[in-house]
Amino acid sequence: MTGNVIDVKNLSVDAIAKRGERTPIVQDISFSVAPGRVVALIGESGSGKTTISLACLGYTRPGCAFKGGEILLDGTDVLQLDLVGRQQVRGVDISYVAQSAAASFNSALSINRQVTEIPQIRNLMSREDATRKAAALYGELDLPSPETIGRRYPHQVSGGQLQRLMAAMAMMCSPKLLILDEPTTALDVTTQIEVLQAFKNLVRENQTSAIYVSHDLAVVAQIADEILVLKDGRMVEYGPTETIITVPREDYTRQLIAAAHVMPEEVKQRTSRGEKGSHLLSVNGVSAGYGRQREVAALLDVSLDVRAAETVGVMGESGSGKSTLGRVISGLMTPWQGEVLLRGRPLAASLKQRTRDELREVQIVFQMADVALNPRHVVEKILGRPLAFYFGADRRAIEKRVGELLELVGLDPAFARRFPRELSGGQKQRVNLARALAADPQLIICDEITSALDTVVAEAILDLLVSLQDRLNVAYIFISHDISTIARIADRVAVMRDGEIVEAGPTAEVLQPPHHDYTDLLLRSVPDLKVGWLETVMEHRRQTGQQAAGN
């Protein structure tokens, strides 16, 4: 006995293809978690972090199989247990909090019913006891009205609350080990730190051990005692948090640190390349929203100017209306009032009334590269269609131009023959960008285009955007909730909250003190790559009485 809660020794997991070929996806992983400690698994997507954390439950995803190694949970090898034995362990000794709580809850059942399910089906607690324990946990997790929140349904609470409720579900049987798989990735920055703080208290007070899976080093630095850096299913570096982030030994770790979403020390004002005063696009007093009777307003009297060849960052939390702004400009949504001017000439409110040239000059790139490309079209068709549509290009011209476009976004022209599923996330986003460029636009609306990507890949996309702007003089409206990204790429920034622009101006002015209150809250919520940062921020929030929009 080592005294550790879990010892993972030389774990290897293979993916098995249809015809039985095995490809290793995780190789030779060893680490252990001592009681009350938090170990973080960190790496890009595809680095095997989720595979390892699921392996601790004795589970592999369909198409994968254990190849070797041991997972000792209090001395028993989980991998040697049969299915029934493993099921006894899951949810009771080890529990799992998935990335998207919204997707993990059943929307037809009340929250309490789901949170108290495991102790009930295992006959560990009566329903009354379970409900009482759940309420206690809700309180511990700083959820509002812990006695009654459990009676609500999943859609009646916010995303950050749901994530905490899922943690409560995981803690119901007081597990020895809690696995948190990217639990804050889908949340806004301001909510993220609250959830993070709640998790931290929970682990501390219950003396639970935890494995925390994330791709965000700055987040991990706040909660983990030790960090295991992964790349392509292998261990890169393993050590105490402080050591890893201050004196990393491996190049890859340094790369991760460089790409972490940290605010630059000093926000440098990018020099605008656009000619002064050459207005490209003006949004004048636009209001828009949903509902036949205009019940839900998403934009309220928003005005914004974009000059040629400049980047305007639009930032805010989810629900602040930033995507709606993009949709109104592109014509996907008809505003209730106000107008959008392109070079001084008003654009028709609806798509159907815009001329082909007006459509061509304003392009939009969507957040989810996966679903923005038609899965049944090859890249050549995806990029060729705008060429044929806007310029009436013939087959040979399309072939030539598609090759050029692919090279422009840093892809091999041979990719033209591939289907989207044969591309990685970063490559898909490049194709997405190439499709917008195919139209030879004056303005590209980038809607959270790096949010779904790993930090290192996102970094490359940002560099690409900048170099494209230098070469093609295209203007961007860069919509993002990630302030550190905006700080790096934008010439000017507009901060949105509840459908209104609360502050706007040159990047350096907006992002450096003195700030508007809301900008200040957003800025302070960007995790810093420092141990102890979280405590400082929470202290500041308590003093100033700031609160995230979600609560």
Partner 1 sequence: MVERVVMSLREARRDLTPTATLCLLIICLILLAAILAPFLAPHREGEILTTGSFMSPGEGLFLGSDYLGRDLFSRLFYGLRLTVVVSLTIALLAFLVGCSLGFLAAVLGGRFDMLISRLVDALIAFPAIMLALIVITALGPSIPVLVVTIAFIDSTRVFRVARALGVDIVVQDYVEAATVRGERFGWLMWHEILPNALVPLAAEFGIRFTYAILFISALSFLGLGVQPPQADLGVLIRENMQGLLYGTFTPLYPALCIAAITISINLLVDWYLRRNDAASPEDLQ
Q: Which residues of this protein are in contact with partner 1, per CB under 8 A?
A: 16, 18-19, 62-63, 330-332, 351, 354, 356, 359, 363-364, 366, 368, 371-377, 385-386, 389-390, 435, 439
Q: Which is nearer to partner 1, 19 or 276 (CB)?
A: 19
> What is the distance, to the nearest Å, from the Cα of residue 195 to the centroid of all Cα atoms in its chain?
15
**CA distance linking residue 316 with residue 338, whole number of Å:** 22
Q: CB of 371: closest distance to partner 1 in angstroms? A: 5
Burial (0-12, 13-18, 19+ Cβ within 10 Å), 17: exposed
> Least separation, in Å, of the C-beta of 25 and partner 1?
14
Query: Contact at 8 Å (CB) between 138 and 168?
Result: yes
For tokens 């898909």, the residue is: 428
SS3 392: coil
What is the rounded distance in angstroms from the CA atom of residue 466 to the CA atom of residue 455?
Answer: 17
**What are the structure tokens assigned to 367, written together?**
């957040």
CB of 208 to partner 1, least distance (A): 32
Tell me the one-letter amino acid at 379.
V
* Residue number, 15 or 92, with CB nearest to partner 1: 15
State how far the Cα of 98 lies from the Cα of 180, in Å rounded to an integer.
7
| CB closer to partner 1 out of 62 and 344 | 62
Smallest distance from partner 1 to CB 136, Å: 38
Neighbours of 35 (CB within 10 A): 12
Radius of gyration from C-alpha coordinates of the chain: 25
- Least CB distance from residue 398 to partner 1, whole Å? 15
CB of 460 to partner 1, least distance (A): 22
Residue 373 CB, nearest distance to partner 1 (Å)? 6
Joined together, the tokens standing for residue 424 give 């990685």
Q: Provide the minimum distance between the beta carbon of 403 and partner 1 in the complex, in angstroms, as a whole number.
A: 20
- Torsion, Cα 271 275 277 279, to 10 degrees, reads -100
Kindly tell me which of 21 and 128 has the beta carbon lying closer to partner 1: 21
Nearest to partner 1 of 300, 351 (CB atom): 351
* Of residues 258 and 371, the one with the C-beta less far from partner 1: 371
* Token pair listed for 544: 């100033």
Cα–Cα separations (whole angstroms), residue 367 to 91, 400, 428, 452, 478:
34, 28, 11, 7, 11
Does a cis peptide bond (omega within 30 degrees of 0) precede residue 514?
yes
Q: Which is nearer to partner 1, 91 or 426 (CB)?
A: 426
Whole-number minimum distance, CB 448 to partner 1, in Å? 12
Q: Answer for the pair 517, 338: CB distance below 8 angstroms, yes or no.
A: no
CB of 420 to partner 1, least distance (A): 9
Cβ 413 vs Cβ 406: under 8 Å: yes
The least distance separating partner 1 from the CB of residue 173, rounded to whole angstroms, comes to 29
Instruction: Please count the CA atoms within 13 angstroms of the CA of 551 that sit on its side-chain side.
Output: 17
Amino acid at 5: V
Closer CB to partner 1, 65 or 109, in the complex: 65
CA atoms within 13 A on the CB side of 292: 0
Q: Quick check: helix, strand or coil at residue 493?
A: strand
CA 346 to mean position of chain CA atoms? 35
Our CB check for partner 1 shows the closer of 125 and 372 to be: 372
Least distance between partner 1 and beta carbon 430 (Å): 15
Q: 370 by DSSP, 3-state: which? A: helix
d(CA 424, CA 369) in angstroms, rounded, equals 10
CB 437 within 8 A of CB 405: yes
Distance, CA of 218 to CA of 257 (rounded, Å): 8
The SS3 call for residue 435 is helix
Residue 211, phi-psi category: left (phi > 0), alpha (psi -120 to 50), beta (remainder): beta
Give the residue with the Cβ less far from partner 1, 55 or 483.
55
Select 390 or 533, whichever has its Cβ closest to partner 1.
390
Q: Whose Cβ is closer to partner 1: residue 150's or residue 386's? A: 386
Nearer of residues 348 and 456 to partner 1, judged by Cβ = 348
Positive or negative torsion for Cα 487, 490, 491, 495: negative
Q: Would you say 276 or 292 has its CB closer to partner 1?
A: 292
Least distance to partner 1 from the beta carbon of 363, Å?
Answer: 8
d(CA 470, CA 272): 11
CB of 156 to partner 1, least distance (A): 24
